[in-house]
Amino acid sequence: MLIKSFLDYLEHERNYSERTVTEYRTDLGQFQDFFHEEDETLEWETIDADVVRRWIIRLMDGGYTATSVNRKLSALRSFYKHLLWREVVKVNPMAKIQGPKMEKPLPYFVKETDMDRLLDETDFGEGFEACRDKVIIETFYATGVRLSELVGMNDRDVDFTTNRLKVTGKRNKQRYVPFGEELRRSLLEYVDMRNCQFCPRLTDALFVSDKGGRISKAKVGKLVKKSLSKVVSMKKRSPHVLRHSFATSMLNNHAELNVVKELLGHASLAATQIYTHTTFEELKEVYKLAHPRA
C-alpha cells in the first residue's frame, strides 16, 4: 500500500510521466523483494542503511552498471522522503547512503602512428589554406591547446626565440607552452605565406580565414574533422581529440603527470588522470619483464 500511495502521489500530484512512475514501481518492488528475501520480518519502516548497502552489492554483483544502480537509489531516496513527510518513518535509511561512482568515459585519441601518417605522409594540397590547415593540426598535437585557445591566439603570443606559446585559457588564466623545431618551421612558413596573402593585415590573429579575418571555431572544427578522416574512422574527430592525443603521447613517452597538467592548463591532477589509461600497455610490458611468473 505504501508503494501504491507514493506512485499515485507522483502521478497525480507531481505529474510524473508514466515511464518514470513505471520505473519507480519496478525499482521499489525489486528492493522490497530483496529485503523480504533477506528477512521476511523486515518492513519499510524497519529498514536500515546496512540493508540498502547489501542491496547495492547484490545489484553490482548482478552486473548492473553504476548508472542503473544510482537510478534505483534515486527512486528509493524519493520514496523515503515521501515516507518522512507522511511521518510513516522517523529515520531515513538513505541519509548516509552513497551510490557507486559513475565511470568516466575514456577520451578519444589518435595513436602516434596515425598522427605520423597524417603529418608526414598525407597530402594537404597546395597554397595558403592547405598550409594553414596542416599547421593548425600540428599546433593542436604539439601543444595540447584547446580550440578556444588556438582561435584566440595572436602573433604576439608566439615567441620564436624561445619556442613557446602564451596561451590564454579558462577564466583568462595564462600559461606558457613550449614547442619544438618542427612546429617552429611550420609556423614560420605559414606566417610568411599568410603575410603575402593578406597585405595589409586585417587582424592580429595568428590563424586567419581564407578572407583574412580571425578564423572561427566552426571552421577549425570542420578542417580538423576533415583532416583526421584521412587516417582514422572513429566517430569523434574534433580538436579536443587532438588535445587528448597530445596528453596521451606525452604520458606514453614518460612525461610526469604534473608536467602534463601544467601544459594542459588543468586546475587539478584529477582532470589529467583520465589520460593515464593508455600507459597500462607499458605497465604490462614492465610486468612481463620483471615478474617471475609473468
Sign of CA dihedral 186, 188, 190, 193: negative
Helix, strand and coil in the chain, % to nearest 5: 60, 5, 35
For the cut 70, the answer to whether the pLDDT of residue 88 exceeds it is: yes
Q: Give me the pLDDT at residue 294, please.
A: 40
Q: Cα(171)–Cα(121) distance, rounded to whole angstroms?
A: 38
Average pLDDT for 129-152: 96
Q: Which of 144, 163, 139 is nearest to 248 (CA)?
A: 144
The label of the residue with cell 530483496 reads: 34
Q: Give me the pLDDT at residue 290, please.
A: 53
Average pLDDT for 93-105: 82
Q: Cα(277)–Cα(240) distance, rounded to whole angstroms?
A: 17
Q: Give me the pLDDT at residue 276, please.
A: 66
pLDDT-based confidence at 260, cuts 50/70/90?
Answer: confident
pLDDT-based confidence at 66, cuts 50/70/90?
Answer: confident
Q: Where are the alpha helices (DSSP H) in the chain?
A: 2-8, 18-38, 49-61, 66-85, 112-116, 128-143, 147-151, 181-197, 217-228, 239-252, 257-264, 269-272, 280-290
Q: Which of 142, 143, 166 is nearest to 154 (CA)?
A: 166
The secondary structure element, H or E, covering residue 165 is strand 164-168
Q: Which of the pair, 278 or 107, is modelled with greater confidence?
A: 107
The pLDDT tens digits for 207-240 are 999 999 999 999 999 999 999 999 988 888 999 9
pLDDT-based confidence at 289, cuts 50/70/90?
Answer: low
Q: Give me the pLDDT at residue 291, please.
A: 46
Q: What angle do CA 223, 226, 231 make, to 5 degrees?
A: 130
Residues of the chain with CATH 1.10.443.10: 112-287
pTM of the model: 0.63
Whole-angstrom CA distances from 190 to 56, 186, 239 are: 58, 6, 19
87 Ramachandran zone, left/alpha/beta (phi>0; psi -120 to 50) = left
For the cut 90, the answer to whether the pLDDT of residue 96 exceeds it is: no
Average pLDDT for 168-186: 91
Q: Give me the pLDDT at residue 106, please.
A: 64
Any idea which architecture 112-287 has in CATH? Orthogonal Bundle (1.10)
pLDDT-based confidence at 285, cuts 50/70/90?
Answer: low
Q: Cα(1)–Cα(9) distance, rounded to whole angstroms?
A: 12
The catalytic residue positions are 146, 170, 240, 243, 266, 275
Q: Give me the pLDDT at residue 288, please.
A: 56
DSSP symbol at 208: B
For 2-85, the fitting CATH number among 3.40.50.300, 3.40.50.1100, 1.10.150.130, 1.20.1440.230 is: 1.10.150.130
Residues of the chain with CATH 1.10.150.130: 2-85
DSSP symbol at 158: E
Q: Which of the pair, 236 or 292, is modelled with greater confidence?
A: 236
Lowest-pLDDT range of 121-135, 155-169, 203-217, 260-274:
260-274
Mean residue pLDDT of the chain comes to 88
Would you say 212 and 198 are in contact if contact means Cβ atoms under 8 Å apart? yes
C-alpha cell at 7: 506512485
Q: Cα(188)–Cα(105) distance, rounded to whole angstroms?
A: 38
Please give the torsion angle defined by the CA atoms of residues 33, 39, 41 and 44, in that order, rounded to the nearest 10 degrees: -50
C-alpha cell at 247: 596528453
Lowest-pLDDT range of 46-60, 171-185, 189-203, 265-279:
265-279
Would you say 240 and 229 are in contact if contact means Cβ atoms under 8 Å apart? no
pLDDT-based confidence at 163, cuts 50/70/90?
Answer: very high
Q: Which of 270, 283, 287, 279 is nearest to 251 (CA)?
A: 279
Collapse the DSSP code of 107 into the 3-class scheme (helix H, G, I; strand E, B; otherwise coil) and give the result.
coil
The label of the residue with cell 580538423 reads: 224
Average pLDDT for 99-107: 74
